[in-house]
Amino acid sequence: MTTALRRLRNYIDGEFRDAADGRTTEVVNPATGEAYATAPLSAAADVDAAMAAAEAAFPAWRDLIPAERQKVLLKIADRFEERAEELIAAESENCGKPVALVRSEEIPPMVDQIRFFAGAARMLEGRSAGEYMEGFTSIIRREPVGVCAQVAPWNYPMMMAVWKFAPALAAGNTVVIKPSDTTPASTVLIADIIGSVLDELGHSRGVFNVLCGDRETGRLMVEHTVPAMASITGSVRAGMQVAESASKDLKRVHLELGGKAPVVVFEDTDIAKAVEDISVAGYFNAGQDCTAATRVLVQESIHDEFVAALAKAAAETKTGAVDDEDVLYGPLNNANQLKQVKGFIERLPAHAKIEAGGEQVGEKGYFFAPTVVSGLKQDDEIVQHEVFGPVITVQSFSDEKQAVEWANGVEYALASSVWTKDHARAMRMSKTLDFGCVWINTHIPLVAEMPHGGFKKSGYGKDLSAYGFDDYTRIKHVMTSLDG
């Protein structure tokens, strides 16, 4: 006797719907490796319907005064708190994440971020109006861009949905968002929450729409003629494909892609404190984080001591079941990701040494042990490419110049950190490190008020902060004659 799979559906214009052609895909719980739901495999007809709903809802939503949009977002934040346990359960099943960590590390910042953007809705900025030509006054209007096609990733499906819809809605845009095909459950629940709030406050539920589907669904969304903007958090390859597709009709593009964060540890660092913090920042969420502290560069004078401490910390770090409050992280998200992480380990060069971990854990699910690899060179595959798993690599550098050269010597440029007691050195490093974020004596904290986004192949555009809000607006110059 088999257990019936839960049925997830698209959310279009305030209604939960199956795909127009009835196609579905199975959704697997990565902690068990077993399917627990089906979700629509949306095609062109579904994309057309969602875009039409968002387009029809846009004029009224755009024309609301900011205070009214703020009310909606504040109510959504309140509802997230009220229905937190539902969201936690959905995300835990989505991703295999430990329940306690979703409760403590994801729900509070998501609620805070929604409330931040609710406030940002009323803080539109522009240069001062004035007479820059005799007899004329110029003013700046900051307006929403229109319908936004958004694609969220599988590593933080719930939080990344917030990072996308909150600034978009606050700025007056309408949204069609697609979760990853492996993690649709929490986004479908978010649709129910947002739809109920829009309904209660008398606004069109077409303001927010969810399409489940695969890469083809995402391509159809980006290439559709309705959206004025396409936003994606995903791989470099996916970002390049989105940028290419969007170029066909010159859509605005917002890309948050991969990372390979250098963690530069100098000899004056408090080793015990650095190892403790770097381990958490490297293994949290199974290392499935574009900013994860997984590429450590250690000054040669403390290398051996640091590696020994890091290997000990890895051995003491636990991965396991969602209800175990002692685990730091759960499984990798899917079978393909497990295969990718294993492949990096299997292809390690002869000069590399596995100091801890390096193997799958358990008989079911996609768990992988906390891993430390030392003895690596700058051009090694595992140094140059994103593993996206609980694997910390270690290299030994001689001086500050070499540390900067190696830290910057990858194609990614999202985040980095510097560990030193020397203030002047920290300031020099924060200037020369070519990354969108530089942490000093810490790694991975984020706040709603500060921007998140990178350079090079890590993409462009910012999430969070007023800068992230601005990305969802356009600027118009209005000039009037003073002659009447």
Whole-number Å distance between alpha carbons of 290 and 280: 14
Catalytic residue annotation? 256, 290
User: Is the pLDDT assigned to residue 77 strictly greater than 60?
Assistant: yes
Read off the CATH number of the domain in which 61 is found. 3.40.605.10
Give kind and range of the element (H or E) at residue 99: helix 99-105
User: Is the pLDDT assigned to residue 290 strictly greater than 60?
Assistant: yes
* Enclosing domain of residue 34: 6-257+458-477
Angle at 403 between CA 401 and CA 407, to 5 degrees: 125
The tokens describing 30, both together, are 């990565």
Q: Is the distance from CB of 282 to CB of 292 less than 8 angstroms?
A: yes
Backbone phi, then psi, for 28, in 5-degree steps?
-110, 135
Q: Are residues 433 and 375 in the same domain?
A: yes
Q: Are residues 355 and 242 in the same domain?
A: no
Closest residue by Cα to residue 444 from 258, 342, 306, 292? 292
Mean pLDDT of 65-92: 98
**Which class for 291: exposed (0-12), middle (13-18), buried (19 or more C-beta within 10 A)?**
buried
Q: Could you tell me the sign of the dihedral formed by the alpha carbons of 421, 422, 424, 430, in that order?
A: negative
Q: Are residues 270 and 206 in the same domain?
A: no
Closest residue by Cα to residue 53 from 162, 208, 170? 208
Residue 271 included in any domain: yes
User: Is the pLDDT assigned to residue 32 strictly greater than 80?
Assistant: yes
Q: What is the pLDDT of residues 403-461, one digit of tens each?
A: 999 999 999 999 999 999 999 999 999 999 999 999 999 999 999 999 999 999 999 99
Whole-number Å distance between alpha carbons of 191 and 49: 16
Q: What is the pLDDT of residues 325-372, one digit of tens each?
A: 999 999 999 999 999 999 999 999 999 999 999 999 998 999 999 999
The strand order across the sheet containing 34-40 reads: 6-7, 34-40, 24-29
Read off the CATH number of the domain in which 283 is found. 3.40.309.10
Q: Are residues 246 and 351 in the same domain?
A: no
Closest residue by Cα to residue 169 from 211, 203, 128? 203
Mean pLDDT of 140-145: 96
Residue 58 included in any domain: yes
User: Is the pLDDT assigned to residue 193 strictly greater than 80?
Assistant: yes
Mean pLDDT of 124-131: 87
% the chain with pLDDT above 70: 99
> String of b and e for 293-314 (b: at least 16 CB within 10 Å)?
bbbbbbbeebbeebbebbbebb
Mean pLDDT of 391-413: 98
User: Is the pLDDT assigned to residue 100 strictly greater than 90?
Assistant: yes
AA letter at 36: Y
At 290, is the secondary structure helix, strand, or coil? coil
Residue 482 included in any domain: no
Whole-number Å distance between alpha carbons of 280 and 291: 12
The tokens describing 49, both together, are 């319907």
Q: Which residues pair with 26 in a beta bridge?
A: 38
% the chain with pLDDT above 90: 98
Q: Are residues 164 and 49 in the same domain?
A: yes
Residue 1 included in any domain: no
- Mean pLDDT computed over every residue of the chain: 97
Whole-number Å distance between alpha carbons of 121 and 66: 5
Q: Are residues 220 and 301 in the same domain?
A: no
Q: Is the distance from CB of 376 to CB of 352 less than 8 angstroms?
A: yes
Q: Are residues 349 and 234 in the same domain?
A: no
Write the secondary structure of 354-376 as one string of H (helix), E (strand) and C (coil). EEECCCEECCCCCEECCEEEECC
Give the pLDDT confidence score for residue 126 in this predicted structure: 80
Q: Are residues 124 and 159 in the same domain?
A: yes
Give the pLDDT confidence score for residue 1 in this predicted structure: 42
Give the pLDDT confidence score for residue 125 in this predicted structure: 83
The tokens describing 117, both together, are 């953007």
- How many domains is the chain partitioned into structurally? 2
Q: Which residues pair with 368 in a beta bridge?
A: 360
Q: Are residues 219 and 73 in the same domain?
A: yes
Whole-number Å distance between alpha carbons of 29 and 6: 12
AA letter at 243: A
For β-strands 295-299 and 353-356, DSSP reports them as unpaired
Angle at 404 between CA 403 and CA 405, to 5 degrees: 95
Residue 60 included in any domain: yes
Mean pLDDT of 109-116: 98
Q: Are residues 133 and 180 in the same domain?
A: yes
Residue 383 included in any domain: yes
Give the pLDDT confidence score for residue 305 in this predicted structure: 98
Residue 484 included in any domain: no
Mean pLDDT of 232-246: 94
Q: Are residues 195 and 293 in the same domain?
A: no
The size of the chain, in residues, is 484
Angstrom CA distances, 256 to 114, 233, 242, 433, stand at 19, 5, 11, 19
User: Is the pLDDT assigned to residue 2 strictly greater than 70?
Assistant: no
Single pTM value for the model: 0.96
Residue 453 included in any domain: no
Q: Are residues 65 and 203 in the same domain?
A: yes
